[in-house]
Amino acid sequence: MMNFELNENQAMIAQMIKDFGAKEITPFRKDWDDKQHFPIEVFKKLGELGLMGVLVPTEYGGSGFGYFEYVTAILELSKLDPSVGLSMAAHNSLCTGHIMMFGNEEQKRKYLPKLATCEFLGAWGLTEPNTGSDAGNMRTVAVEDGDYYVINGAKNFITHGVSGDVAVVIARTGEVGDSHGMTAFVIERGTPGFKGGRKEDKLGMRASETAEMIFEDCRVHKSQILGEIGDGFIQSMKILDGGRISIAALSLGIAEGALEESIQYSKERQQFNQPISRFQGISFKLADMATQVEAAKLLTFKAADLKNRGQKVTLAGAKAKLFASEVCVSVSNEAVQIFGGYGFTKDYPVEKYYRDSKLCTIGEGTSEIQKLVISREILK
């Protein structure tokens, strides 16, 4: 039976984030955005609250929650500042999630406790300058040399590419175009030949660090391989299935935040001697926005439910990510319209939701790639 109410853990997490955010996020988010400052200290505190290892089992130092709690955490953080929600999601679902899903016992015990507390901040390297959606044609190569692999190449658009303490990196160990010719490695910051590169100057999500990772004759021991040699790309596709639920949750948080701000403003803003919420031009916008947000929430939590039950989420995750990301752009756009001229200023948060929202239709698979995934699944 479907239950649409928050469970006890979800309610606790939501309230904890609201309380934390009022002190640690909301007062500083504009300054972070203006200066493109990555507030690493906030993520250390989130680690203390158990939010950097939401899905990590308690035996490895994590919170041991499921995807309902995870989606709720991302959603609530993203209402406060989408940049914080994005970095938290990338740390949890990509780097930490990859080690949790494909690491051996020694690797899990070595890295998961530090990732779960944010003693280590995680990064995940798949995208390259010449390969975005076409990840199978990556040019970063790993050449076997005795007990090591020597890695050369570069990754870009990497969340925490400079500040990350440990990264899961996918490199080519076989032929170009061979989906079984890529391997996943865990590489720690400080490994000779591994460094951060240029930090991107972005339209939105400016407090979430996005940068290059560069590898120059970087020697990585074979003990740092995740799973089997040649399985890196296949592993990555499975990681992205879950990661798309994260982006759907991020999108949902942005959309809910923009909707809540719009409702409040429409009740307070007076024109023609009455609140603008009394005009159908505004109230009908709010009705459409609320309906879209609710539909996105249902798709997102359906995907989370399937993930909790260990079922395949390729289709459900892609649907949730596609719809929620497009909704968050649409709702944020309408929020700016409702605020009018004030929506175009930084005195109100809706312009930031508007700028931040666009990434959700691009990161972890564009909307066009989601449609490709969905169409392939339904036409099997």
End-to-end CA distance of the chain: 29
Q: Of 69, 364, 368, 377, which one is the catalytic site residue?
A: 364
Return phi, psi of residue 188, to 5°.
Answer: -90, 145
* Distance between CA atoms of residues 74 and 89, nearest Å: 7
Question: Which is nearest to 186 in space by CA: 88, 118, 120?
Answer: 120
Q: What is the pLDDT along the chain (380 residues), one digit of tens a residue?
A: 568 899 999 999 999 999 999 999 999 999 999 999 999 999 999 999 999 999 999 999 999 999 999 999 999 999 999 999 999 999 999 999 999 999 999 999 999 999 999 999 999 999 999 887 788 889 999 999 999 999 999 999 999 999 999 999 999 999 988 889 999 999 999 999 999 999 999 999 999 999 999 999 999 999 999 999 999 999 999 999 999 999 999 999 999 999 999 999 999 999 999 999 999 999 999 999 999 999 999 999 999 999 999 999 999 999 999 999 999 999 999 999 999 999 999 999 999 999 999 999 999 999 999 999 999 999 99
Strands 194-199, 210-221: pairing kind: antiparallel
| Lookup: tokens for 170 | 């996918």
**Which segments of 194-306 are extended strands (E)?**
194-199, 210-221, 225-226, 270-271, 274-275
**Which segments of the chain are extended strands (E)?**
122-125, 141-145, 148-159, 166-172, 182-188, 194-199, 210-221, 225-226, 270-271, 274-275
pLDDT of residue 339: 98
Burial bucket for residue 159 (CB in 10 Å: 0-12, 13-18, 19+): buried
Q: Which residues pair with 9 in a beta bridge?
A: none
pLDDT of residue 197: 97
pLDDT of residue 1: 58
* Distance between CA atoms of residues 124 and 160, nearest Å: 8
128 is catalytic: no
Give the Cα-Cα-Cα angle 338, 287, 81 (nearest 5 degrees).
60
Residues contacting residue 193 through CB under 8 Å, at least 6 positions apart: 151, 215, 216, 217, 218, 219
Q: 34-43 long-range CB contacts below 8 Å, 24 or more apart?
A: 34/206, 34/346, 36/199, 36/201, 36/202, 36/206, 36/207, 37/207, 38/87, 38/163, 38/207, 38/208, 38/209, 39/84, 39/207, 40/121, 40/163, 42/84, 43/84, 43/87, 43/88, 43/91, 43/118, 43/121
* Distance between CA atoms of residues 133 and 155, nearest Å: 13
pLDDT of residue 132: 78
